[in-house]
Amino acid sequence: MNSKPARNFKLMLLSFYFLAIGFSLNAQNTVIKAGHLFNSRTGEFVSNQMIIVKDGKILETGTNLKYSSSDKVIDLSKSWVMPGLIDCHVHITANYPYRNVSFNHSYTTESSALRALQGAFVAKQLLEGGFTTIKEIGNDANYATADVIKAIKKGWAQGPDIIYAGKIIAPYGGQTSGINIENEHLWQFEYIDADNPDEIKKAVRKNIYYGADVIKLVTGDNGIYNEDDIKAAVDEAKKSGIKVTVHALGGEAARNVIMGGAAAIEHGFYLDDELMRLMKEKGTFLVGTDFSFDNWYSYGMDSSQAKSLERVIVDRLKRAYKIGTKMAFGTDIIIDIPGLNRLQTNLKVLQTWKAAAIPSSYILQTMTIYAAELLGADKKIGVLEPSYLADIIAVDKNPLENIDAVKDVRFVMKKGQIIKQPGSNL
Ligand SMILES: [Zn+2]
């Protein structure tokens, strides 16, 4: 072993080793000077902080941190800096005509390819608006979002990290009604029929095969899943380490979701206090998709219907907050309001949160740390602390004074990469 070639080889290895150390010492970190930094654990901003970013992650946060003169410094000393935002209920590949929704028409006229292109367009818009993670919750044609995710991974498209549900699993008929027998199964463009625990388990496995990392069920539209049905989905998903979330409005359907062990109820517009207390007890999240008047109106309702539905949501939000049901932010927009893009239409829901007088600090927590907890990603995102991903955004005004400040995100960093910064024309 001590022959000359072996010694030379060892020397060569050693020199590579020191070369590598030299490179890592000289590697450029990014230093962000944050005038106000959001602590999503406490819901408060802390002044005059610094964040050091290395290899896409946060290395250090604090005051007066030492850094190298070769590091890249980003001055956000006049800004409010926060973790990247998270939307737990989006449909990036769906866009229906204003006040003229026809799901069946879109199934027959829009291919999955077209829907994927729309998804890539919206994904970029959401990322540039500060949403660095989204939960894409179905109604995405024939797994169109799976291709959007692949395109983002290949670098062909830019978008948030996407937690993906695949096709929605529902009792026979999906969320359609009135389809004639000649067009039976038309809905399978977007839904998987599953009417007992075995069918549900098979549907879960199919979604996982095509890329799902969360499972979405619908109950209460064409029949109600019982507790065992929900449990079958939860157990099957658990084998792959993923969670189940369920569209349910209230009543028995919602009770079965909670008792069956699902991670969240989507919508829950008609949840009574007793069910929301049960959710609190079981740790079930509410993703409230809190439509404002304008969002309801875009579905084609008249003003009085839209107004009364907005009132229902405001009341449910108030009660959920008072009871202490866990909440994660979700928007659920599939129709853009004229003159507004998808990001702006999504954020119309903040109007409802404001009408319910929910504190801005709590709203920000539902968009960061609580959403991360629901997604099972709370060791990675939602908080700006060492070892977390460098998903960082900044706004010019104090969002605690008015949550609308998050509608104008000026700086976006995704895993250490700058997506948008002050002065850019995005
Ligand atoms: Zn939805």
Cα(418) to centroid(ligand 1), Å: 30
pLDDT score at 26: 54
Res. 351 pLDDT band, cuts 50 70 90: very high
- What does the pLDDT look like over 130-180, one tens digit per residue? 999 999 999 999 999 999 999 999 999 999 999 999 999 999 999 999 999
Convert 169-194 to b/e letters by CB count within 10 Å (16 or more is b).
bbbebbbbeeeeeeeeebbebbbbbb
> What b/e sequence results for 225-236 when a residue is b if at least 16 CB atoms lie within 10 Å of its CB, and e otherwise?
bbeebbbbbbbb
pTM: 0.93
pLDDT cut 70: percent of the chain above it: 93
User: Does the pLDDT value for residue 310 go beyond 90?
Assistant: yes
pLDDT at residue 103 in the model: 84
Packed helices 227-239 and 251-259: angle between N→C axes, nearest 10 degrees: 40
Expressed in angstroms and rounded, the spacing between residue 164 Cα and the centre of ligand 1 is 13
Interval between CA 134 and ligand 1 midpoint (Å): 13
Find the 91 Cα to ligand 1 centroid distance in Å.
7
CA distance 143 to 208: 11
pLDDT, average across residues 63-85: 97
Question: Separation of 241 CA from ligand 1 center, angstroms?
Answer: 23
CA pair distance 365, 45, nearest whole angstrom = 12
**425 pLDDT higher than 80:** no
Distance 56 CA to ligand 1 centre (A): 31
CA dist list (Å): 43 to 96, 174, 302, 368: 36, 39, 38, 10
Distance 136 CA to ligand 1 centre (A): 9
Ion ligand 1 nearby residues (CB, 5 A)? 332
Cα 256 to averaged position of ligand 1 atoms, centre (Å): 20
State the pLDDT at residue 114.
97
Per-residue model confidence (pLDDT) at position 20: 47
Can you give the three-state secondary structure of the chain, one letter per residue?
CCCHHHHHHHHHHHHHHHHHHHHHHHCCCEEEEEEEEEECCCCEEEEEEEEEEECCEEEEEECCCCCCCCCEEEEEEEEEEEECEEEEEECCCCCCCCCCCCHHHHHHHCCHHHHHHHHHHHHHHHHHCCEEEEEECCCCCCCHHHHHHHHHHHCCCCCCEEEECCCEEECCCCCCCCCCHHHCCHHHHCEEECCCHHHHHHHHHHHHHCCCCEEEEECCCCCCCCHHHHHHHHHHHHHCCCEEEEEECCHHHHHHHHHCCCCEEEECCCCCHHHHHHHHHHCCEEECCCCCHHHHHHCCCCHHHHHHHHHHHHHHHHHHHHHCCCECCCCCCCCCCCCCCHHHHHHHHHHHHHHCCCCHHHHHHHCCHHHHHHCCCCCCCCCCCCCCECCEEEECCCCCCCHHHHHCEEEEEECCEEEECCCCCC
Tokens of 96: 């229906």
**Mean of all residue pLDDT scores within the chain:** 94
